[in-house]
Structure 1
Amino acid sequence: MLNGGSQNTSATPEMLQQSNAAYTRDIQTAFQNENDGSFSFNDNISFLSNDGVKITGNLFIPKSGTGPFPAIIFVNSWALNEYEYIVPAAKLAKKGYVVFSYNTRGFGTSGGLINVAGPKDMEDLSKGIDFLLANAPVNASNIGIAGISYGAGISLLGLSKEPRIKTAVAMSGWGSLPDSLYGNQSPRLVWGLLLVTAGYITGRMDPIIAENFQKLLDTRDVATVLSWARERSPNNFVAELNASGKPVYISNNSQDNLFQPNQILPYFEQLTVPKKLDLNNGIHATAEIGGILGINNYVWTNAYDWFDYWLKGIQNGIMTKPKVTIQKRFSSDRVSYSSWPNPSKVEKTYHLRPMGLFSPGKITTTANTSNGNDTILSGGTSATTGVPLLSEILDGAVSVPVKTNVNLIDRTNAMVYLSDSLSSPLKLRGRTFYKGRINSSDYAPHVVVYLYEVDFWGTGKLISHGTATLFNVKGKDVDLNVDLQAVAHDFPAGSRIGLAIDNIDPMYAVPKPISLYTTTFKHSTSTASTLKFESE
C-alpha cells in the first residue's frame, strides 16, 4: 500500500514515515488484542536466498493440535514490512494454521534491492517455502499465499510459478503491470511518483525502477520498459496457472487508479481454474485495509473462508457464493454473476452528435444524421478526476463523488455531450467504450474521457473515466478508442448521461514536450461516434 500526497504537494519523507508509524501502532494494538497465548510467535526468522541475500520474517505456529498444519504465506505490500499481517496471522494461527510472513528483498530488514516481483523475488519465495517445510510442522500439500498490492502481485506470480503453493488470495493486485503503469500509452503520473517516492523512503530501490518510470514519462525506450514489466505480470503466466488447476480468489477496487479494474478483468477472464472475484468500492487497498487491523469485512471474510475450504476442506459455502460480485457506485449493494464476462450481458449503444454553437453535443439512441466537426484547444477544464488521492478517498471510501456542472465545462477546451432525460434506468455493469474519429495538430494528442450522471440542473457526478494517448498521428484522421474503467452503476430514470473529453488531468502524464495544440472531433453519417455500455 502507498501513502502520500497529491501531485501538487509531493509526499515528503516525514509524511510517509509518520503515516507508516501510526499504521504500525494500530497494528500492534490490534495484535495484542488477538494474542491469547494459543500460538507461538517467532520474530527472528531468516534464511539466505540463492544469491546470498538475507531474507527476514516471522512465524506463527499453533500450540494445540498435532500437526502437520496447513500453512499460509503473507507477502508485504509496497513500502511496508513483515509486521503488516500479524493480526490476520494471529487469527489464522488460532484456527490451526502455520503462518509465515516475510520482508520481500529491499524492504524491512531483508537485504538486497527491491526487485518488483522479478526473478529474484520468485527465488526468495521458493527458498522461503524450503525454510518453512524444514522448520515448521507444515502439511506440504496445503500451502496458500496471500498479500495486498505488491504482495498480491507476488502471490499471483508465485501461484503460477511455484508448484508447492496450492491456492492464493490476491487483494488490490495487478494482472498486467504494463497496463497498470502505461495503459493506453498514458503513464500513471501520481501513483507512479508515489511508488518511486515511497520505495526510496522505506526501502532500498534498484535504480532501474526510477529509470524505467522516467522513460515512460519521457516516451523513451518504452518497449524495453514494457518488456521488463511484462516479466512481472501474472497475465504472462496464465497458461501455467490454468495447466495447474490451482484456485484463486481476487479482490480489487473500482476507484483504484493504481491497479485499475480494467487490467485485472482480462486476467480473470482468461483463468479456467476455480476462481472468485470481488470488485469493491474504494481506492487502492481501502476495501482490504480493515482486515489488517482485525476488523471483519466482506473481503477478509471471503479470504478466510477461501483458505478454510481449499486448505482444510471445510464446507463453509464459499464455493456456492457468486463467482463474481461488483459493488454498486455510492452503495453497499452488489450485483453478482455466475461467470465473467456476464453471460447475459447486453451491449447498449448510444450515438454522439456534434456540438452546436451554444449547446453541447447530443447523446442519442438513434444514429447520427448530420455531419459536423468540433475543434477543441488543449488544456484543462472543470472536467477532472478531482484532487489526486483526496478526491479518490472521498469518492471510494465515503461515497462523496467528484462533481462538476457539465453545462459550465469550457467547450473551448473540451467536447461535451448530453443525453435527454432517461425514460428508464440504465444499468451499467462493467466497462464503457468510447469511439470517435479525430484529427490533431499534435504528434501525440492525449485525451481523458469522463462519464457523468447529470441531474436536472446540470450537476454531473463522475461515474467512470478513461484515458488514451495516440502517437504519430499529426494531421491524420484516426480512430480514437477509449475504454472507461469498469463499474456497476444505475443511472436512474430522469437523469441524463453526460460525457466530457479534454486533454489534461492531474492523474496522468502527457507526452513531452507539452505544447498547445488542437484536436478536431469528426462526426459524420458514415463514421459513427459512439458510447457503448456493458449493461443488463
Structure 2
Amino acid sequence: MTYVNSADFSLYPELDANALHAFVTALETGDLHGLSPARAADVEEVRSVAVFSRGKVTGADGDLLDAALWRHTGSDPRPVIVMPSPWTNLGWLTYAVQGALFAARGYNVLAYTARGFAGSEGQVDVAGPLDVADGSRALDHIVERTAGPITRIGFLGDSYGSGISQLVAAHDTRVDAVVALSTWGDLGEAFLENSTRHVAAVKALLGAASKARLSPRTRSVFENVLADRDIEGTLRWAEQRSPLTHVKELNRRQVPILFAQAWHETLFPGNQTVRMFNELTGPKRLDLSIGDHSGPETSGMLGLPNRIWTDAHRWFDHHLRGIDNGVADQAQVVSEVMWGKGLEPRAGWSAVTERTRRVHLTGGGELAHKPEAGWTAGVVCGVDTPAIVADAIVTAGHAEMAGRPKVYPTGAIDRGVAAVWAAPPEEETARLRGTPRLRVTYRAANPGSTFVAYLFDTAPDGSAHLVTHAPFSDLDSAPDSLIRADIELQATAYDVPRGHRLLLVIDGRDPFYGDANRPRATLAFTSPEATPSFLDLPLG
C-alpha cells in the first residue's frame, strides 16, 4: 500500500481553489456573481469597513513574499493578525475567507505565502531562521500600513503556518497571542517517533510541496529520512525548528496560545503537541477533534460553520481586543469523543484521565488482570497484515469526520504473523481518556527491529475500529538480546461500547513507517517475571 502516489498530492483536498479565487476577485471588484449568498454577504460586509489588496512583503534576504492585506482606513486603534500560509501551493489563498471574517470584526489582517511556495520567492526553510525573520518582516509590513494605533498583535497559522507562528512569537516580543491549528511542538517527532521513521508522512510532505522550491538542506533532510541516513543530523536540524525548544521564551512573556489537533493526526502525532501544551505556563487551550491533519478546520476555510475557527475568533477577541467573552474562564482542554462526537471540557490535561486500568499480556492471548510469565508470542517481520495506521493520509480523516471510520476485519489478522491479545467484553461503556502506555519485552534475533502496536475496539462480529497506535524501533541492541519497550500510544478520547472488546495487535510492518527489521525475521514477545508486559488504559 502507498500513502502518497501523486505529485499533485494535497494536504487540503477539500478546498475548492476556484471558489477561493472567486471570493478574492469579489473582494477586489465587488462583483458578487457566482458567489453563494453567505459568501456574498461576507464580501459586502468586509468591503463596507476595510480595503482588500494584494501585494508583496519584503522578507529575509530581500525575498519577496506573496501577500494579501485587509486594512481599515480610519484612525481608530485596532489589533493586527498575521497569518503565515500552510504547506500548500495555494499559499495565503487558504486564508482568504477567514482573513475577511477577521477584518469584518475589526482586525487589520495580513496573510502571506511562506517562502518557496506559490508566488513567494526564496526557498523552503521549514520554519527555520529565514521563516522566523519573514514573520517579523510581515509584521513590519502591516504595521507600516496601518492608519491608526495598533493595540495588540496575533499570529495565526494552520499546519506549517502554525509552527512558524509559534516560533515568531517566541522571538518577536511584539506578538501578544497565537492560534496554532494542526500544529507541532517537536518537529523531530514528525520524522522519528520512538526511533521509527515516519516515511509516509515525509512522502506526503514532499508530494504536497512538489511545486515548491525546497532548499538543498531541506531536500537532503527529507531524503535522509527516507534513506535512513544521518538521522542524528535530522534531529539536530528539527530541534531548532521545534517550538518546544523555545518554550522558555513563550513562558517568559506568558503568550496565550490556542492549539487544535486531530486524534488520528498522521503528520504531527498528537502526543508531542500535548507535551508542548503541558509545558506552557501562560493562558492556553487545546481543542482535540475526530479526523486527521487539518481536517477539523478545513470547512471553516470555506466559510462554513466550524467549531475550531469559532474558538480561534473568540481567542483573539479576548486576548487581542479585550472582550470578556468567557474564554478565560473556560476549560483548557476540549475533547471531541470518538465516535459519538460529544464534547468534553476539562480543566487541564491532567484532568482528562481520572484513573488507570492495567491489563497484562498473557500467553493465551488475553489481556488479563494478573501478570503471567514464561510465555512467548511470535511476530514475523516484513509481512503486511490488515492492521495499518490508515488507508490514506488526510482523506482517511475526512471519512472519520463524516462518520465512516475504517472498519478492520480482525479475524483476517494472521495470528501466525502478528501477536494478538483480547480483553473480556466490556460490561459497560469504557471511557478511554488520555494516553495509553504499553510495556512489552521481546527478543530479536537480528540487530535492528521494529514493531507497531495497535489498540482496536472490536465488535462481537469481529469488525473493529482503530482507537490508537504507536511504533517502536530498537537500533542498538545486540542480536538475540531481550529488549524492553516502554512506549506511549497516541492520546485518545474513545468510548468502547458495552459488549465490545479491546484488542491489542502487534505486528512487524506498517507501510506508514520505516522498517528496521530484516525480511522474514521474527520477534519473540514475552513477559519476564521481574518486568511483566502490560497495557495501561487511561479512563475518564
Provide the TM-score with structure 1 as the length reference.
Answer: 0.92
- Tell me the secondary structure at the aligned position of residue 421 of structure 2: strand
Note the residue ranges of structure 1 that are not aligned, 5 or more in a row: 1-5, 356-360
Question: Match for 1:145 among 141, 145, 155?
Answer: 155
Aligned to 2:436: 432
Aligned to 2:533: 529
Q: CA-to-partner distance for each residue in 1:400-421, whole Å, 9 max, x for gaps?
A: 2233333431111100001111
- How many Å apart are 1:153 and its aligned residue? 0.7
**Is 1:187 paired with 2:190?**
no
1:45-56 mapped onto 2 (5 Å cutoff): 45-56=55-66
Aligned to 1:422: 426
Question: Match for 2:377 among 374, 377, 395?
Answer: 374
CA distance, structure 2, for counterparts of residue 390 and residue 312 of structure 1: 34
Question: Match for 1:27 among 20, 24, 29?
Answer: 20
Question: Match for 2:230 among 196, 214, 221?
Answer: 221
- In structure 2, relative to structure 1, the CA distance for the partners of 1:141 and 1:117 (3 Å cut) is same
Q: CA-to-partner distance for each residue in 1:488-523, whole Å, 9 max, x for gaps?
A: 0122222211110001112112138x5221100012
Q: CA-to-partner distance for each residue in 1:195-234, whole Å, 9 max, x for gaps?
A: 1122232x21112222112222333211111010110000
Aligned length: 520
**2:11 touches 2:208 (CA, 8 Å); kept in 1?**
no
Provide the TM-score with structure 2 as the length reference.
Answer: 0.92
**Is 1:476 paired with 2:484?**
no
Question: Match for 1:11 among 6, 13, 22?
Answer: 6
- In structure 2, relative to structure 1, the CA distance for the partners of 1:433 and 1:502 (3 Å cut) is same
Amino acid at match of 1:10: N
CA distance, structure 2, for counterparts of residue 458 and residue 524 of structure 1: 30
Question: Match for 2:496 among 483, 491, 497?
Answer: 491
Aligned to 1:247: 256
- Tell me the secondary structure at the aligned position of residue 291 of structure 1: helix
Aligned to 2:101: 91
CA distance, structure 2, for counterparts of residue 344 and residue 217 of structure 1: 36
Note the residue ranges of structure 2 that are not aligned, 5 or more in a row: 27-39
1:104-503 mapped onto 2 (5 Å cutoff): 104-137=114-147, 139-201=149-211, 203-342=212-351, 345-355=354-364, 361-368=365-372, 370-378=373-381, 379-389=383-393, 392-393=396-397, 395-473=399-477, 474-503=479-508
**2:361 touches 2:534 (CA, 8 Å); kept in 1?**
yes
- How many Å apart are 1:351 and its aligned residue? 0.7
**1:407 touches 1:458 (CA, 8 Å); kept in 2?**
yes
Question: Match for 1:67 among 76, 79, 82?
Answer: 76
**1:152 touches 1:170 (CA, 8 Å); kept in 2?**
yes
Q: CA-to-partner distance for each residue in 1:370-429, whole Å, 9 max, x for gaps?
A: 421122211221222242237723553223223333343111110000111122332110
CA distance, structure 2, for counterparts of residue 308 and residue 438 of structure 1: 53
- Tell me the secondary structure at the aligned position of residue 341 of structure 1: helix
- Tell me the secondary structure at the aligned position of residue 525 of structure 2: strand
- How many Å apart are 1:68 and its aligned residue? 2.6
CA distance, structure 2, for counterparts of residue 438 and residue 184 of structure 1: 16
Aligned to 1:3: none
**1:405 touches 1:459 (CA, 8 Å); kept in 2?**
yes
**1:70 touches 1:138 (CA, 8 Å); kept in 2?**
no
- How many Å apart are 1:130 and its aligned residue? 1.6
Amino acid at match of 2:469: H
CA distance, structure 2, for counterparts of residue 185 and residue 217 of structure 1: 13
**2:454 touches 2:469 (CA, 8 Å); kept in 1?**
yes
Amino acid at match of 1:521: F
**Is 1:43 paired with 2:53?**
yes
Amino acid at match of 1:523: S
- How many Å apart are 1:59 and its aligned residue? 0.8
CA distance, structure 2, for counterparts of residue 301 and residue 204 of structure 1: 34
- In structure 2, relative to structure 1, the CA distance for the partners of 1:509 and 1:395 (3 Å cut) is farther
**1:196 touches 1:209 (CA, 8 Å); kept in 2?**
no
Aligned to 1:358: none
CA distance, structure 2, for counterparts of residue 241 and residue 268 of structure 1: 11
- How many Å apart are 1:113 and its aligned residue? 0.4
**2:80 touches 2:108 (CA, 8 Å); kept in 1?**
yes
**2:363 touches 2:377 (CA, 8 Å); kept in 1?**
yes
CA distance, structure 2, for counterparts of residue 498 and residue 343 of structure 1: 22
**Larger deviation, residues 463-472 vs 130-139:** 130-139
- In structure 2, relative to structure 1, the CA distance for the partners of 1:18 and 1:326 (3 Å cut) is closer
- How many Å apart are 1:44 and its aligned residue? 3.6
Dislocated runs of 4+, deviation >6 Å: none
**1:446 touches 1:510 (CA, 8 Å); kept in 2?**
yes
CA distance, structure 1, for counterparts of residue 11 and residue 379 of structure 2: 44
CA distance, structure 1, for counterparts of residue 419 and residue 18 of structure 2: 48
Calculate percent identity across the aligned residue pairs: 27
- Tell me the secondary structure at the aligned position of residue 221 of structure 2: helix
